[in-house]
Amino acid sequence: MKRILLAAAMAWSIATPALAQPAQPTEIQMWMGLTGQGGELLSRFGEDFNKTQSEYRVVVSFKGQYPEQRAAAVAAYRAGKPPHIMQMFDAGSGDMIAAKNAIVPVSEVFKRAGMPFNSADFIAPARGYYGLKDGSLLSMPFNVSTTVLFYNMDAFRKAGLDPTKPPKTWPELVQAAKKIRSTNAAACGYTTTWLAWVQLEQIASRHNIAFGTEGNGRNGPSASLNVANNPLLVRQVQTLVDMQKDKSFDYGGRSNDAAAKFISGECAMLTQSSGGLGAIRQGAKFEFGTAQMPYWPDVKGAPYATTIGGASLWVFNAPNRTDKEFRGVAAFLNYLRSDKVMTEWAKATGFLPATNSAFKAMQTEGFFSQNPGRDVPILSLIESGKGENTNGYRFGRWVEIRDVYHEEVEKALQGGQTPAEAMRNFERRGNALLRAFERGMM
């Protein structure tokens, strides 16, 4: 009897295949450069996407601020294990474009995945910044921003200024800052974050002037800086040097540190990324307003559009990266560009809706009319004049070149050289870095 049962069991085991194990989801790695509210929300978007399907599992990781993250990604690429997606800020675009074998243009990613993708779905400034002449996109715009002026309405009232009329021009800003100081309405009149981005790159765009050759580097890597003999860029630095004498201007550092001076009430005006709104809204104990970046009224045609900042999403290539992985990348990017995600992102952070449909959805529901000032950055981008120098730049090693600008302008602020000397030294040192970048591409 035992032999019969054993034989039957063996026969059943041979005839019945092993139960199939459930397939493990394909993992998609995304590296981000955001912390705080933005980083938390982007991580949650990854988790939300994972709940919508079981084929892919997105893992969103913070690998340091953008420059550190880029260095880590380069090392990972050389080791054959880069992330699938990397969030990279605008200043790193030139380096990413130069790494032709390392990246796959996002338009190509969707094509490989067999999914529809139209670059015209994104707002025009973003298409212009991250696009090619054939209309395709190199990377997908995501946390899009531009420079705006935040101002303390309570301090304006205390100084006898009209809180409904923020300064539109730089002479008006200087006058308001001096009035704020003379009435002691705030300890300083004006400060700025992101010194090079605001005082060089955005100033140039706002007045449609080139600060480099070859279309500000967009036409090829042989570009050079052209700032030494630019009177507007010299005047901008001279204005800051003059204003700091009575603390109408107070320098707050190279990156985002100066925002704390505004949030605390120490400084009454701040030029900052529109994406900084969330932190200001959470921390400020006063009523504040948002206005477009000032311009110099004596420059013909001004004001022109500011240019975009923030970051976009780049797709890495890698040995043995499968078609399924690229389909997973496309599926997640498609999720991120949905109206649901884009509108939540814009409302919570202050970044702009990167797609036309998300912007229209926010208009239709009355978000901008119910939240005065929230449309300021996008109007600055799409309603102001367009010119050949309002679509941004593409210089290699720009993160390093920005720091050269910082060093030279800081020296001028400290009285160690004139603003004109600062621009000459910045041009000379910056061009040396561009030539080194060009040699590295050969």
Query: Tens of pLDDT along the chain (442 residues)?
Result: 444 444 444 444 444 455 556 689 999 999 999 888 889 999 999 999 999 999 999 999 998 888 788 888 888 988 999 999 999 988 888 888 888 789 999 999 999 999 999 999 999 999 988 988 899 999 999 999 999 999 999 999 999 999 999 999 999 999 999 999 999 999 999 999 999 999 999 999 999 999 999 999 988 889 999 999 999 999 999 999 999 999 999 999 998 999 999 999 999 999 999 989 988 998 999 999 999 999 999 999 999 999 999 999 999 999 889 999 999 999 999 999 999 999 999 999 889 999 999 999 999 999 999 998 899 998 899 888 899 999 889 999 999 999 999 999 999 999 999 999 999 999 999 999 999 998 876 4
Pairwise CA distance, residues 394 & 372, whole Å: 34
What are the phi and psi torsion angles at 271 (to 5°)? Answer: -95, 130
The two three-digit tokens of residue 324, written as one number = 């399924």
SS3 per-residue string spanning 208-246: CCCCEHHHHCCCCCCCCECCCCCHHHHHHHHHHHHHHHH
Residues 257, 186: Cα–Cα separation, whole Å: 18
Give the per-residue pLDDT at 15.
47
pLDDT of the residue at 378: 87
Strands (E), 95-232: 140-145, 147-152, 188-192
Residue 395: which of 236, 222, 145 has the closest Cα? 222
26-145+308-365: CATH topology is D-Maltodextrin-Binding Protein; domain 2 (3.40.190)
Is residue 77 within 8 Å of residue 107, measured between CB atoms?
no
- The three-state secondary structure class of 79 is coil
Side chain identity, residue 401: I
Q: Distances in Å between the alpha carbon of 82 and those of 312, 317, 330, 333, 361?
A: 17, 8, 17, 17, 36
User: CB under 8 Å to 242, separation ≥6 — which residues?
Assistant: none
pTM of the model: 0.88
Exposure on the CB side of residue 169, measured as CA atoms within 13 A: 8
Would you give the distance in Å from CA 97 to the centre of its chain?
16
Say whether domain 147-306+394-441 belongs to CATH 1.10.3720.10: no
| Residue 312 confidence (pLDDT) | 95
Q: Specify the DSSP class assigned to residue 199.
A: I
Between CA 196 and CA 219 the distance in angstroms is 22
Three-class SS state of 424? helix
- Which phi and psi angles does 416 have, rounded to 5°? -85, -15
Where in the chain is CATH 3.40.190.10?
26-145+308-365, 147-306+394-441
Q: What angle do CA 165, 168, 174 make, to 5 degrees?
A: 95
Eight-state DSSP code of residue 25: P
41: exposed, middle or buried (Cβ count in 10 Å: 0-12, 13-18, 19+): middle
Q: Going edge to edge, which strands form the sheet with 309-315?
A: 56-62, 26-32, 85-89, 309-315, 140-145
- pLDDT of 247-301, one tens digit each? 999 999 998 999 999 999 999 999 999 989 988 998 999 999 999 999 999 999 9
Express each pLDDT in 2-46 by its tens digit: 444 444 444 444 444 555 566 899 999 999 998 888 899 999 999
The helix/strand/coil state of 421 is helix
* pLDDT of the residue at 20: 56
Tell me what percent of the residues of the chain surpass a pLDDT of 90.
77
Position 6 scores a pLDDT of: 46
